[in-house]
Amino acid sequence: MKIIFYIFTVYPLRFAFLVLDIAFKVMPVRALKPLSPFRVTRKNLSIAFADLDDQALDLLAKESYKETLKSIYETLYTWSRSHQKIIYQTKRINNRFLFNNPDQEEGLIICGLHNRSIDFMLRWISSQRSHTSLYKKIKSKPLNSFVKKFREEGSCKMVETGIGGVKSILASLENNQMTCMASDQVPARGLGVYSKFFGHECYSFALAPKLAKKSNKQILLSYLSYEKDIGHIINFKKPSQEIYSDNGVDVMNLEMEHEIKKSPAEYSWEYKKFRRLSQEPKDIYKT
């Protein structure tokens, strides 16, 4: 399977990105509107940036959809390359001292943000330090087996979302190990709390702040970004100390919002972030 992914990503990242930039420059927005991921992206952006008019939302959604396609290429590229190659492609680490401090002897919670490819960022993190992390099962059995095995390289361990997985992660933190989790997706019922995301009600993943409070381990926000003149950048940020309080989920969401606003198009808006609402029985993505 790795060979297949390599064939699909035989071109260098910069060249593939250039091709997409050129293609989207001449592509009208109306050509994208029939596509479900584009419609979800635009709906999410209309909620998050309610002050934008229709034309501005169309343009931002188009740019975001292009970045989503780039992130898919990044992921397939990552799945078919060694960790040394991903280290080489990572041109800068912002606030690396936060990741290196505490040192390898202390537990650490990495709270990931879906900016660009999660697997690209996770591949770099795994090359630096092993971890026990949450894994959402993929429906395709062959792909699920491949991705799980890939992510477990370097003595890493993937555990599925659920009570058993949470217990495994808590035990690893108590043993001063590291854990990574994407904390901006909609969790299964019972694993989240209702909070606000860009001023709108959102069922939010509560595990990272809860683990940080229970284990008294440091939590860091991390995400991947890209600048044409530099290349891929991994960012680490120390959140407000309030993230360890009872309002930790609200603080986490606000911290995420702050980083997303720096480059809204890079965030993966194609997820149905606001699909599980307490007061709205209908699916807002079908309106």
> Which of 215, 249, 242, 263 shows the shortest CA–CA distance to 102?
215
Q: Which residue has the higher pLDDT, 102 or 5?
A: 5
Summary mean pLDDT of the chain: 92
Average pLDDT over residues 237-250: 94
Helix axis angle, 141-151 to 118-128, nearest 10°: 40
Q: Where is 235: in which H helix or E strand? A: strand 231-237
Q: Smallest Cα–Cα separation from 136: which of 115, 114, 154?
A: 114
Q: How many CA atoms lie within 13 Å of 44's alpha carbon, on the beta-carbon side?
A: 25
Please tell me the total count of domains within the chain.
1
Of the two residues 185 and 69, the one the predictor is more confident about is 69
Predicted local distance difference test score (pLDDT) of residue 100: 86
Q: What is the pLDDT of residue 287?
A: 63
**What are the tokens at 268?**
């993966």
Q: How confident is the model at residue 141 (pLDDT cuts 50, 70, 90)?
A: very high
Q: Supply the DSSP string of 152-185, one letter for each residue.
A: TTTT-EEEESSHHHHHHHHHHHHTT-EEEEE-SS
Q: What is the pLDDT of residue 279?
A: 73
Distance, CA of 189 to CA of 228 (rounded, Å): 40
Backbone angles phi, psi at 135, to 5 degrees: -135, 125
Domain extent for 48: 2-286
End-to-end CA distance of the chain: 39
Question: Which band of pLDDT confidence, cut at 50, 70 and 90, is reported for residue 101?
Answer: low
H or E element, residue 157: strand 157-160
d(CA 222, CA 133): 14
This prediction has a pTM of 0.93
Measure the CA–CA gap between 70 and 113, rounded to whole angstroms: 16
Closest CA relative to residue 240, chosen from 232, 249, 230: 249
C-alpha span between 185 and 136 (Å, rounded): 11
The tens digit of pLDDT for each residue in 188-225 reads 777 789 999 999 999 999 999 999 998 889 999 999 99
pLDDT of residue 160: 86
**pLDDT at position 278:** 77
